[in-house]
Amino acid sequence: MPLSADLTALALWAALAALALLAWLSALGSPVLSASAEILADVRSKVFYHKFAQQMSKAGLIWLLVALLLTGLVMALRKAETSMLLSFLNEQPMLLLPLVIALALLISFALLHATTWRGLKESRGLHKLLGLLAALASLASIWFALSLCRLLAIQNRADPAIVIQDHFLIPATAPFWLLLGLVVMLALACAGGLGLAYTVMRRNKDDWGRDYYGFALRLGAGWTLLSLGLQAGFLGWLASVHLLAGLALAADPILRAGVIITASALLVAMLAYLFVWRSDTPLRHKPVIGLAVLFLLLMLAGLCLAGFQFLGQ
| Cβ atoms 40, 49 nearer than 8 A | yes
- Measured at the CA of 79, the angle between CA 78 and CA 83, to 5 degrees, comes to 120
DSSP single-letter state for residue 92: S
Identity of the highest mean pLDDT range in 34-48, 82-96, 164-178: 34-48
> What is the C-alpha separation between 41 and 57, in angstroms, rounded?
14
**Residue 254 pLDDT > 60, yes or no?**
yes
For residues 12-37, average pLDDT = 90
Other Cβ atoms within 10 Å of 244 Cβ, number: 13
Indicate if the pLDDT at residue 311 is higher than 70.
Answer: no
Say how far apart CA 131 and CA 149 lie, in whole Å.
Answer: 27
Q: Is the pLDDT of residue 115 over 80?
A: yes
259 in Cβ contact with 239 (< 8 Å): yes
What pLDDT, on a 0 to 100 scale, did the predictor assign at position 3?
42
pLDDT above 70: residue 313: no
Neighbours of 19 (CB within 10 A): 19
As a whole number, the mean pLDDT across the chain is 82
What is the arithmetic mean of pLDDT over 220-249?
Answer: 77
Distances (CA, A) of 121 to 38, 45, 249, 312: 12, 16, 55, 52
Which residue would you say has higher pLDDT here, 70 or 1?
A: 70
Question: Given this model, what pLDDT does residue 14 score?
Answer: 75
Verdict on whether the full-model pTM lies above 0.85: yes
Yes or no: say if 31 and 137 are a contact pair by the CB < 8 Å rule: yes
**Mean local confidence (pLDDT), 127-154:** 87
Q: How confident is the model at residue 10 (pLDDT cuts 50, 70, 90)?
A: low
Among 129-133, 205-209, 279-283, name the one with the lowest average pLDDT: 205-209
Lowest mean pLDDT, pick from 49-53, 97-101, 287-291: 97-101
| Measured distance CA(190)–CA(185) in Å, rounded | 9
Say whether pLDDT at 31 is over 80.
Answer: yes
Cα separation, 169 vs 151, whole angstroms: 12
Nearest to 153 by CA among 78, 88, 98, 100: 88
Nearest to 271 by CA among 288, 286, 283, 250: 288
* Residues 6+ away with beta carbon under 8 Å from 102: 137, 140, 141, 143, 144
What pLDDT, on a 0 to 100 scale, did the predictor assign at position 159? 44
Other beta carbons within 10 Å of 69: 12
Residue 44 reports pLDDT greater than 50: yes
Mean pLDDT of 124-153: 88
Q: DSSP class of residue 157? A: S
DSSP 244-313: TT-HHHHT-HHHHHHHHHHHHHHHHHHHHHHHHHH-S-GGGGHHHHHHHHHHHHHHHHHHHHHHHHHHH-
pLDDT at 201 over 50: yes
- CB 28, CB 142: distance < 8 Å: yes
Task: Report the pLDDT value the prediction gives residue 89, as an integer from 0 to 100.
Answer: 66
